[in-house]
Structure 1
Amino acid sequence: MSEAHPGLSLRTRLMIGLAVVAAIAIGVAVTVTVTTHSYLVQQLDARLESYSGQIDAVLLHRNDSSSDVIVPLTPPGSTESSERPSDAYTGLINATDGSYGFALKPNTASDDTEPDLSQLDVALFADGQAFSTTVDALGGEAGEYRVLVRPFNASGGTYWSFTALSMDSVQDATTRLVVIEAFGIGALLAGLALVGLWVIRLGITPMRRMVDASKQIAEGDMSVRLEGASAGSESHDLAIALNGMIGRLQASLTERERSEAKLREFVADASHELRTPLTTVLGYAQLYRKGALSDKADVDDAWVRTESEAGRMKRLVEDMLELAKYDALPELQRVDADITALAAEIVGDSAAADPDTEFALEADGPAIAAVDADKVRQAVINIVRNAAIHGGDNVTVRVTTTSGAVRIAVEDDGPGMSPEVAARATERFVRGDSSRSRATGGGAGLGLAITAAIVDAHGGTLNVTSTVGHGTTVTMTIPRAPLTTGATPIVRTAPSPASTASAPSASTPALGD
């Protein structure tokens, strides 16, 4: 497997791309300049070509064949000028020694420069062909001239005619083009630099920050959040999406840690609750096996205690199984039920089961709600049972209705609980008394936990308020939402509320702890 090579970063790729664009722009500018300059020179050569034919005709017309000097010539540097047929310098040049003279000069020249033909190499005349070349100016400011040199027919090959035009116009046009291109390329490079900085600032730099933050998150620092560019940019939207994902992940991890802690606490509490009855059962079994229980009365007492502890373990296991069912999305058999009538039955049954406690029901009338009647009955029984065991001598059940919910409040006048214990009252294996003694007849602390699971399954809430020395109030709130309008509840109509409930019915339900 080949080794992976590190790629270029976005910043490097952007800079390379901008550099390539700048190089292309400069190359195009140079090409345009060279092409334009060559085109202007060609135009100048075409003008020279058109002038040279006319000049040769003029020179031939003025030719005196008996004279060695074909026409009167003006030496270089002379201020003398003749009639100007054009803006070109015209004259003859001796192909033998390179000497030359002007036959015609422009009479509208703005400076005193003229072509310096002494730069021409006499070897250029060897092949007898016309040629064009560029020479420097003579006198005045620096400059160049374009010169067309042709054989002069009347001179027998000794003299050549020349026509020269100043290249100032070509140079000026080329210079202006270069200046314009320089400003244009400068503006282009400045624009590319600004675009590069803008892209780096809005795109690459935020991405680099997010990469660094992601590394911190990968190392376990879940408090870090990603920061993008300004609102509306892709990095900003990406940062928001990733921050939301990180938040949900952090919440999931926190919830998992909390669940694991609760599970460990649950296992520890369940082990503690099972250890006492198991120790009792094991102890009596060992006494019986070793023959320590010789009297029949001792044997009967041992069996009674063993059966009691086995029943306690059975109830504990059943309660834990019940909670497991609610943890796994319980199925509810919802029907329209009268909660007031259901509460009245529970109050009556509780009064019969615990005659030393005074139970009262307060309600305005029927309260119909779509609930699983058996499970709601179990939840209310658990609350009333806890109030009777851990509360005082008076337990009041109040049923009230609102437009969208039924509220069942169970109030006692017992010793109450501290705010810390009340806040955790619906957790598993939490009891109001700090000790684990069952002298008061308390259970394993799963009653309110089961009640909370039932209420939650119905989409309601369970609230526990308590004040030390002033009793405890447990309030169930369940959404009403009757299944059918005018349906007949499956629970019988409640009797008139009374301060003390009547005798229990024949089918008194078992009370939970």
Structure 2
Amino acid sequence: MNRRWRTLRHRSLRGRLVWGVTLLAAATVLTAQTIGFVVLRSWLLDRVDQQLTEFALPARAGLPARPAPDSVTLPSDFRITFYGSSGAERGTLGSGDKPGPRLPSLTNELNLTPGRQATLAAESGDGHWRVLWKDGSDDTSYVVALPLDTVEGATDKLLALNAAVLAVAVVGLVALGRWVVRLGLLPLTQMEHTALDITAGDLSLRLPDTDPHTETGRLGTVLNDMLDRLQQALRQREFSEARLRRFVADAGHELRTPLTAVQGFAELALRHPDRPTAQRGEGDEQIAKNAERMNLLVDDLLLLAKLDQEPAYRRVCVDMLSLAADAVSAAAVRAGSDHRVTLSPLDAPAEDTELEVVETVGDPDRLLQVVNNLLSNALVHTPLGTPVDVRVGTAHAGAAAGGIDRPGRTSAAPPLAEDTAICVIEVADQGPGLPSEEADRVFERFYRVDPSRSRDQGGSGLGLAIASAIAQGHGGRLELDTGAGSGCVFRLVLPLVSTGHLRGSEPDVNPMPRDVITRRPTGHCGKNRLGRT
């Protein structure tokens, strides 16, 4: 039994469906035929039994002497066998030449119950009779019988017809079932072929049947979603591997130059220990300078690794306006008369001379590092005399205010939900701007817009990557709006988080004249905390 079950389980789904449906339908047809046969035979027997029950013995047939066969005319095919008071057979009445029922000569040998019909075989041949034992007059009895030729003929024909119908039904069900099942499983066959092509390497293929009203369609939809996610995961894995290889190569390239310099000057010192003091001092200076470059690069790499592990930032009240003012003060000192660095409201009219203090929750040191990096880039990568404006304010995430993607905007972080309340620090310059192919890569690690720029001036290419990671760690993002010839606008976007639970009260808003926080190229700047005086 277990072997047969295992054999059935290993059959194809198409074969199991065809034979399962065929057997079920054949069993249904056979059951219906059996019920019809039983009902018809029972009805025909009931008709015969009714005739036997309603049969009345003619008056002349009940004579005590043995009756002559032609002395009484009986209706239809009735046969009557008489038994006397002693129980012995007295004779029979009835016409026809067919063999009568097989009855014993004594009533003691009759296996019949008076008043109840029974079926007996014929004296010869394969015919049968329906008989009924009745009581006669003067302690006599008789058995009235009717042949079952009509009943058996009708049931035999019905059996033959049922067998033919069953055979035709089984053959038709097998043929039609194969076609129907093949048609029903056609989407699965197409899925199989598509899966084979996908396995062969064509990951762009998708299952064709995605009708949500069918089981195969819903299965196709789920499998397509799974394939999309798998393909996306493979792409992300390939991108991560390529990025890691590029990162390792870039890090090695960045470290190779100062290492080569340190090694060269060290070998020079070992080979020529009697060099003049001035040459030894110059070599030592170059060794220290390159060691410092390597130390800064390693520090940046360690910081990026720490930021990638989602470090725990401090969560304190941060005055974004004061933070921006500190960064502007330091940048104005570094720029001197080469650049004009100003601080202004976010999207304020020209005649507006007041600034609003913006407070949020975050790590002030890391956020100041981001703003300092943006200002340093603006001062280094723009021509002398280019104005740089730092704008601070609150807005709602949108195409104009920032926080979401749009054409001409680049960011390494996912967009925020539209209309989210945000606080923004923008660092805008009026420099030459960047073409789209360069703007798309500014947040990549070790990427430099100008490959020919000296590393002493251009840095290692990790500053914007670090700044973007810090912004993402605060739930925001760093983005760039630029175009060739239109200047650059770097925008730090952070969710506007209430600081009431940290300060014990609502954030205060203290408007200040804009000329108080304007940093002139002369380098004269105050160290007051804006909005606190």
**RMSD between aligned alpha carbons?**
4.7
Aligned-residue offset at 1:358 = 1.9
Q: 1:422 aligns with which of 429, 439, 445?
A: 439
> Does the CA-based 8 Å contact 2:332-2:519 persist in structure 1?
no
Moved more, 211-220 or 448-457: 211-220
The amino acid of 1:278's aligned partner reads L
Indicate the SS of the match to 2:458.
coil
1:373 aligns with 2:375: no
Partner of 2:332: 351
Aligned-residue offset at 1:319 = 0.9
Q: 2: CA distance between counterparts of 1:368 and 1:64?
A: 132
Aligned-residue offset at 1:352 = 1.4
> Does the CA-based 8 Å contact 1:33-1:174 persist in structure 2?
no
Name structure 2 gaps, 5 residues minimum: 82-91, 111-119, 134-142, 346-354, 397-420, 529-533
1:275 aligns with 2:256: yes
Aligned-residue offset at 1:45 = 6.6
Aligned-residue offset at 1:383 = 0.6
Give CA-to-partner distance per residue, 1:71-100, whole Å, 9 cap, x none: 658xxxxxxxxx9653446699xxxxxxxx
1:451 aligns with 2:467: yes
Instruction: Go from structure 1 to structure 2 and tell me whether the alpha carbon gap of 1:315 and 1:425 turns closer, same or farther (over 3 Å shift).
Output: same
Instruction: Go from structure 1 to structure 2 and tell me whether the alpha carbon gap of 1:71 and 1:279 turns closer, same or farther (over 3 Å shift).
Output: closer
> Does the CA-based 8 Å contact 1:371-1:458 persist in structure 2?
yes
1:400 aligns with 2:393: yes
Instruction: Go from structure 1 to structure 2 and tell me whether the alpha carbon gap of 1:415 and 1:438 turns closer, same or farther (over 3 Å shift).
Output: farther
Partner of 1:285: 266
1:360 aligns with 2:342: yes
Instruction: Go from structure 1 to structure 2 and tell me whether the alpha carbon gap of 1:467 and 1:60 turns closer, same or farther (over 3 Å shift).
Output: closer
Aligned-residue offset at 1:283 = 1.1
The amino acid of 2:377's aligned partner reads N
Indicate the SS of the match to 1:387.
helix
Partner of 1:320: 301
The amino acid of 1:463's aligned partner reads E
Q: 2: CA distance between counterparts of 1:172 and 1:342?
A: 107
Indicate the SS of the match to 1:402.
strand
What is the total number of aligned residue pairs between the two structures?
A: 450
Partner of 2:378: 387
| Structural mapping, 1:179-328, within 5 Å | 204-226=185-207, 230-291=211-272, 294-328=275-309
Aligned-residue offset at 1:260 = 1.0
Q: 1: CA distance between counterparts of 2:365 and 2:66?
A: 143
> Does the CA-based 8 Å contact 2:26-2:166 persist in structure 1?
no
The amino acid of 2:290's aligned partner reads E
Aligned-residue offset at 1:194 = 8.5
Partner of 2:322: 341
| Structural mapping, 1:164-183, within 5 Å | 167-168=149-150
Partner of 1:432: 449
Q: 1: CA distance between counterparts of 2:364 and 2:515?
A: 18
Instruction: Go from structure 1 to structure 2 and tell me whether the alpha carbon gap of 1:194 and 1:208 turns closer, same or farther (over 3 Å shift).
Output: same
Give CA-to-partner distance per residue, 1:469-505, whole Å, 9 cap, x none: 443221211112123242579xx99982225275467
> Does the CA-based 8 Å contact 1:48-1:163 persist in structure 2?
no
Q: 1: CA distance between counterparts of 2:371 and 2:391?
A: 11
Aligned-residue offset at 1:456 = 1.3
Q: 2: CA distance between counterparts of 1:32 and 1:419?
A: 83
> Does the CA-based 8 Å contact 1:366-1:494 persist in structure 2?
no
Partner of 1:140: none
> Does the CA-based 8 Å contact 2:448-2:461 persist in structure 1?
yes
1:413 aligns with 2:444: no
> Does the CA-based 8 Å contact 2:434-2:482 persist in structure 1?
yes
Aligned-residue offset at 1:46 = 5.0
Instruction: Go from structure 1 to structure 2 and tell me whether the alpha carbon gap of 1:418 and 1:23 turns closer, same or farther (over 3 Å shift).
Output: closer
Instruction: Go from structure 1 to structure 2 and tell me whether the alpha carbon gap of 1:91 and 1:498 turns closer, same or farther (over 3 Å shift).
Output: closer
Instruction: Go from structure 1 to structure 2 and tell me whether the alpha carbon gap of 1:301 and 1:449 turns closer, same or farther (over 3 Å shift).
Output: same
Partner of 1:10: 13
Overall identity of the aligned pairs, in %? 29
> Does the CA-based 8 Å contact 2:319-2:358 persist in structure 1?
yes
1:86 aligns with 2:75: yes
> Does the CA-based 8 Å contact 1:84-1:104 persist in structure 2?
yes
Instruction: Go from structure 1 to structure 2 and tell me whether the alpha carbon gap of 1:50 and 1:366 turns closer, same or farther (over 3 Å shift).
Output: closer
Q: 2: CA distance between counterparts of 1:321 and 1:337?
A: 25
Q: 1:473 aligns with which of 489, 509, 512?
A: 489
> Does the CA-based 8 Å contact 1:341-1:495 persist in structure 2?
no
Instruction: Go from structure 1 to structure 2 and tell me whether the alpha carbon gap of 1:293 and 1:328 turns closer, same or farther (over 3 Å shift).
Output: farther
The amino acid of 2:394's aligned partner reads T
The amino acid of 1:452's aligned partner reads S
TM-score, length of structure 2 as denominator length: 0.69
Name structure 1 gaps, 5 residues minimum: 74-82, 93-101, 106-114, 137-143, 151-160, 508-513
TM-score, length of structure 1 as denominator length: 0.71
Give CA-to-partner distance per residue, 1:114-167, whole Å, 9 cap, x none: x5x2x659xx8999999754999xxxxxxx99698x9xxxxxxxxxx9976685
Moved more, 410-419 or 179-188: 179-188
Structure with greater Cα Rg: 1
> Does the CA-based 8 Å contact 1:48-1:165 persist in structure 2?
no
> Does the CA-based 8 Å contact 1:430-1:445 persist in structure 2?
yes
Indicate the SS of the match to 2:57.
helix
> Does the CA-based 8 Å contact 1:33-1:177 persist in structure 2?
no
